[in-house]
Amino acid sequence: MQQAFPELLADLPLPKYLNNYGKLHLGPYMWVALKDHYEFCHFDPDDNFLIMLQGRKQVRLFGIDLESLYPNPLGSHGKTVQSRVNCDQPDFKKFPKFSNAVCEHCILEPGEMLFIPAFYWHQVTALDTGISVNTFYGDPGDEAFISKMFSKPYSEHFHYWFLNIVEQNREYESFQKIVSRLPEVVRHFFLKQWHEQISEENVSKAVDLVMKHLNLTELPEPILGSGKFPPVMKIRGLLHRDGTKGKIAEDDKDKLNGDPNDGDCDNVNEVEKGSC
């Protein structure tokens, strides 16, 4: 909304809880949905307030349950992790464990707000043509949010989300540079995503997670680029509903030929703005 409708921001103040006890990650965003729009079940990597302005939405919440919701394979494109299950018409032969999922649901009316925790499966359907707003946020402090994500009950979903992004980058030439400078990459990634100054303890946890996933016993020698910053581990592309990868974006065409800038950020302001 800051870019598209800045004149509306004064009429949509952030929730008091977020101002007093949270730290804004992204947003607010405005969503205009036609009646019967079905948003595939997914989880986001941030706490979320969903605010209904006009019309109604049905929201299904399935909690933190990786096994029963059948996430798309690691490496699927997009920032969220989506379920392969159509919650309106579940195929129990193909996804039998979905029968074990526990669903909470509500209908969000105009003027109502719903809190959706980070990494919490949710599926949203527009019952009317309407308008909603949401904000993505986390805990205040330098690394309170990511420390929480390494703990139960979040850790399983958080690990899957982070490894999904690792796999998004595996087929690109820059991946070898990313792995070779993984501790730096991890610090840069979470500074960009959550504005967190991650501790060395949590850097080590993230690095160990990736090394175990890649079957590495040690990291290769660092591959240094020309820029001041490490290579960027990007969140790649959009996710099709069948879990396949979307068309390669223009800034992802370093796949075969390499990125002339080695994926480095050349300006600290670019990190803070999330543009690299």
- Same domain for 257 and 156: yes
> What b-and-e string marks burial along 246-264, b requiring 16 or more CB atoms within 10 Å of the CB?
eeeeeebebeeeebebbbb
Domain assignment present for 43: yes
Q: What is the pLDDT of residue 13?
A: 78
- Same domain for 148 and 134: no
What is the spatial distance between Cα 83 and Cα 63, in angstroms, rounded to a whole number?
13
Q: What is the pLDDT of residue 233?
A: 96
- Same domain for 199 and 179: yes
Where does a domain end: 110, 138, 166?
138
- Same domain for 164 and 243: yes
Domain assignment present for 154: yes
Q: What is the pLDDT of residue 226?
A: 75
> What b-and-e string marks burial along 161-185, b requiring 16 or more CB atoms within 10 Å of the CB?
bbbbbbbbbeebebbebbbbbbbeb
Where does a domain end: 119, 138, 157?
138
Q: What is the pLDDT of residue 244?
A: 53
Determine contact, residues 49/15, Cβ cutoff 8 Å.
yes
Q: Write the CATH number for 81.
A: 2.60.120.10
Number of domains into which the chain is organized: 2
Low-confidence ranges of the chain (pLDDT < 70): 238-276
- Same domain for 155 and 103: no
Domain assignment present for 152: yes
Q: What is the pLDDT of residue 238?
A: 57
The upper half-sphere exposure of residue 169, i.e. CA atoms within 13 Å in the direction of its Cβ, equals 24
Q: What is the pLDDT of residue 245?
A: 55
Q: Give the residue numbers spanning the domain of 149.
A: 144-273
Where does a domain end: 107, 138, 169?
138
What is the spatial distance between Cα 63 and Cα 61, in angstroms, rounded to a whole number?
6
Domain assignment present for 1: no
- Same domain for 133 and 10: yes
Domain assignment present for 205: yes
pTM: 0.85
- Same domain for 131 and 157: no
